[in-house]
Structure 1
Amino acid sequence: MALSWKLVVDSVNAPVLADFWAAALEYEVEDPTALIEQLLAGGQLPQAAVVEHNGRKNFRGLAAVRHPEDPFDATSGIGQGRRILFQDVPEPKTVKNRLHIDVHGAPGGLEALASRLEELGATRVREVDQGPAGHWWVMRDPEGNEFCAT
């Protein structure tokens, strides 16, 4: 079974989207501050390639989240297990996602889960009722990417 994987999501504002998904999934936002400071000090990275968000330095246009129980590199902050990388792209989202994340809540806790995700910035699109197979909410993250709350 693969422990190390990375899902890459195109974004408009990577650090903001990383904050949303870290809170939604109870993941941790990666902190590459130490690596960036080392690269800046060594002249290997221009200041223009760096942004600050929530007191952390990030590579411009990139932010990632990682599972809190997985190993990570202490110098770079980069997860070595399950992670999601958000990368800014110039073109806007125009069609439905071909891949999406399902966020699972506690049994019987769909309404509480959907409400929590709304408080984080998600919006409900529609409720899907599959009768005995269950029901879930199709939702959108703050940038309009579809996902399901089940």
Structure 2
Amino acid sequence: MSLAGTDVTAVVREVQVTLDATDPRALAGFWRAVLGYADDEPPAGFDTWEAALEAWGVPPEERGRAWALHDPTGSGPRLFFQRVPEAKTTKNRVHLDVRAAPGLSGEARMAALEAECERLVALGGSRLRRVEADGADEGIIVMADPEGNEFCLD
């Protein structure tokens, strides 16, 4: 698609990353631990999400259909987890790169990535493969969250 000759005014937009899940709250718990994010607070006037959902008449079987996290520093995107009936079946076309070794290179970088990989496996993630540096790019570790969504330790 070409935008040449088109008058386009760029507007900076905030983004939210949405992840499909069979158990949104559990998957959010994994990503909360990975990223240091926090659960979104319940709406004003409610002490808990459960109290809000009860007041709004949401049936108990529907109360686990979504969960959200945010970066407590305000710099990262909000993560929204939504229940879907089907399991993941193919490779992600979009994935997260978790910056676990910024500023490091060589063996120090890979050692930091390996340490973070061990921590995330203990939380329920899966190691898929290690990709070695090739001269143009530094090495990474490809992982999957508990529901199979791929991400990279970078």
Larger strand percent: 1
CA distance in 2, matches of 1:21, 1:145: 11
CA distance in 2, matches of 1:95, 1:39: 33
Is it true that 1:139 corresponds to 2:143 in the alignment? Answer: yes
Among 100, 103, 106, the alignment partner of 2:98 is: 103
- Report what 1:128 is aligned to: 131
Whether contact under 8 Å (1:3, 1:82) holds in the other structure is no
Inter-CA distance 38–120: structure 2 relative to 1 (3 Å threshold):
closer
- Report what 2:3 is aligned to: none
Is it true that 1:4 corresponds to 2:4 in the alignment? Answer: no
Is it true that 1:90 corresponds to 2:85 in the alignment? Answer: yes
CA distance in 1, matches of 2:81, 2:52: 22
Inter-CA distance 31–127: structure 2 relative to 1 (3 Å threshold):
same
Q: Which runs of 5+ in 2 are unaligned?
A: 1-10
Larger Rg: 2
- Report what 2:60 is aligned to: 48
Whether contact under 8 Å (2:30, 2:124) holds in the other structure is yes
- Report what 1:30 is aligned to: 40
1:65 offset after TM fit, Å? 1.0
Tell me the TM-score normalized by structure 1. 0.76
1:123 offset after TM fit, Å? 0.8
Q: Which runs of 5+ in 1 are unaligned?
A: 51-58, 72-80
Aligned residues, how many? 131
Report SS of the residue matched to 1:131.
coil
1:147 offset after TM fit, Å? 0.5
Whether contact under 8 Å (2:42, 2:52) holds in the other structure is no
The letter of the residue matching 1:21 is W
Whether contact under 8 Å (2:21, 2:82) holds in the other structure is yes
CA RMSD of aligned residues (A): 2.3
Whether contact under 8 Å (1:10, 1:89) holds in the other structure is yes
